Amino acid sequence: MARLVVAACLLLAAASCVWATKTLNIDFHKEEGTAVASETPRVERFLQSEEDTVCYEGCFDSPEEFTDPYPTFLIGTVGFMPAQDCYDAALAAGFSFFAIVDETDCFGGDSVPVGWAPDVCPLECGPGGGGPCGAKGKAAVFSMGACQYLGAPCAPEVSPQEMVPLSPPSQPSPVIASPPPSNGPVPPPPPPPDNPVDGPPPGEPDFPPPESPSSDAPPPPAIPSSPEVPSPPPPVPEVPPIYVCRPGVSLWGVFLPKSPVKLNPTHTEAANLAKCEELCSSNPDCAGYYYKKTQWCYLMLEVWAFGKEYPTAISACRKM
């Protein structure tokens, strides 16, 4: 009996045909309309409805063997998969599409299978029928809710009664009544005055003439000139550091980086000693120095005390 109902529905695809049962309705595309392939899950809207209805999207053939239409496998059976069981599993998992594949497996997804070609296969797994949906290597695909169609009119967001007119209704132009005609002659205009008085034209204010500047008036105040920006003070000459020196000793403390410095051996002892002091004076981190006969200049980062006497030491100096 179920096979006859399904066959009648498929033959009358141009007419409205709904497979109605107590728990699940299977809707079919009508009037050769094309279903709207919506990628948005419709489960939330479907859960709010009182009637369980699914749309039969059609039968699809697998592009190659052992290919699944969706990555999520829901349930499987030994015999034919009932549409009600696959629907319940997809609804619980939150999918908006489900497919019965190879007659026994149920998969869930959110769109029509991609890469699967439309085909024809039996649809006998609905309520009241114990036959197969789909076939080997094919999938019977359903979507939650009734079938949707392209070209369906949309409900207006604002009813005609609630629409506000763009402009106020036009008002009739006022009619100005003309004075009644007079039977007598029109009186002539009054003659102009004989001796017109000098003054501003009618309708303009009468201002007194501007006063001429008097020679006794004080001169206008002078505009103060902008103050001159003082030039910066001359730079203060640097005061050379003062050293406390001892001959023939070294210094105890911490050396500066890259110390000691080898001086020119061709220069005199006095010239190299002056050069060693110049190197320490030009470095603000230098706390002292000492020079040896080996032409080595030792620059100190910290000076703790004067060191021991050395036969090669010439002079040791620390900053005050």
CATH code (residue 300)? 3.50.4.10
What range defines the domain where residue 86 resides? Answer: 2-144
According to the model, what pLDDT value does residue 110 have? 92
CA of 316: how far to CAs of 9, 220, 248, 259, in Å?
115, 75, 7, 15
For each successive 10 residues of the chain (320 residues), what is the average pLDDT? 36 36 64 39 45 84 85 92 92 94 94 88 79 90 79 41 49 56 62 58 60 64 71 77 90 88 90 93 92 90 87 89
According to the model, what pLDDT value does residue 207 have? 62
d(CA 270, CA 253): 25
Which phi and psi angles does 315 have, rounded to 5°?
Answer: -155, 145
Give the three-state DSSP class for 55: strand
- Do 134 and 247 belong to one domain? no
Last residue of a domain, one of 118, 144, 170: 144
Does 222 map to a domain? no
- Do 138 and 26 belong to one domain? yes
Does 209 map to a domain? no
Last residue of a domain, one of 144, 171, 201: 144
**pTM, two decimal places:** 0.38
The number of domains in the chain is 2
Of 33, 130, 111, give the one whose Cα is nearest residue 72. 111
Does 234 map to a domain? no
According to the model, what pLDDT value does residue 94 have? 93
According to the model, what pLDDT value does residue 1 have? 37
Does 285 map to a domain? yes
**Pairing state between β 72-76 and 117-119:** unpaired
Does 206 map to a domain? no
- Do 140 and 255 belong to one domain? no
Does 72 map to a domain? yes
d(CA 245, CA 317): 4
Last residue of a domain, one of 144, 166, 192: 144
Q: How many CA atoms lie within 13 A of 65 on its CB side?
A: 0
Does 180 map to a domain? no
